[in-house]
Amino acid sequence: MSLDKATVAKVANLARIRVEENHLDTLANELNAILGWVEQLSEVDTENVAPMTSVAEMQLRWRADEITDGGYQQEIVANAPSDEDGFFAVPKVIE
């Protein structure tokens, strides 16, 4: 599998990273080098192998569904680049 310019542009859009048109080729080459190297994973027989999802063999814990936290709106927005009345402020989304 090899990434072309259009695919890199699509992936960059999915990742919400603006990439200038004249940088797409370089990026495609870099990503292809890495993906080409990763291809060797296909040599490994993984028939009937379950994908690893947790390193310690443990069950996730259960807990009661209770509110244990909250009540500090000002702290939550304290680091926001822009906030109004305790809310995060963003550019206008709806016309």
Partner 1 sequence: MTDLTKLTIAEARDGLKASKFSARELTAAHITAMDSARGLNAFITETPEKAVEAATKSDEKLANGEAGLMEGIPIAIKDLFCTKGTLTTAASHILDGFTPEYESTVSANLWTEGAVMLGKANLDEFAMGSSNETSYYGNVVNPWRRKKDDQPLVPGGSSGGSASAVSSNIAMGATGTDTGGSIRQPAAFTGIVGMKPTYGRCSRWGTVAFASSLDQAGPMTRTVRDTAIMLEAMAGFDAKDSTSVDMEVPNFEAALTGDIRGLKVGIPKEYRLDGMSEEIAALWEQGIEWLKSAGAEIVEISLPHTKYALPAYYIIAPAEASSNLARYDGVRYGLRVEGDSLDDMYSRTRAAGFGHEVQRRILIGTYALSAGYYDAYYLKAQKVRARIAEDFKEAYKTVDTILTPTAPSAAFAFGEKGDDPLEMYLNDVFTVPASLAGLPGISLPTGLSADGLPLGLQILGRPFDEETVIRTAGVLEEAANFTAKPDAWWRG
Q: Which residues bind partner 1 (CB under 8 A)?
A: 1, 3, 7-8, 11-19, 27, 30-31, 33-35, 37-38, 40-44, 46, 49-56, 58, 60-61, 63, 72, 75-76, 78-82, 88, 90-91, 93
- Sign (positive/negative) of CA torsion 41, 45, 46, 52? negative
At CA 15, angle to CA 12 and CA 18, rounded to 5? 50
Query: What is the closest distance, in whole angstroms, from the C-beta atom of residue 1 to partner 1 in the complex?
Result: 7
Query: What is the closest distance, in whole angstroms, from the C-beta atom of residue 5 to partner 1 in the complex?
Result: 13
Query: What is the closest distance, in whole angstroms, from the C-beta atom of residue 85 to partner 1 in the complex?
Result: 16
Amino acid making up residue 4: D
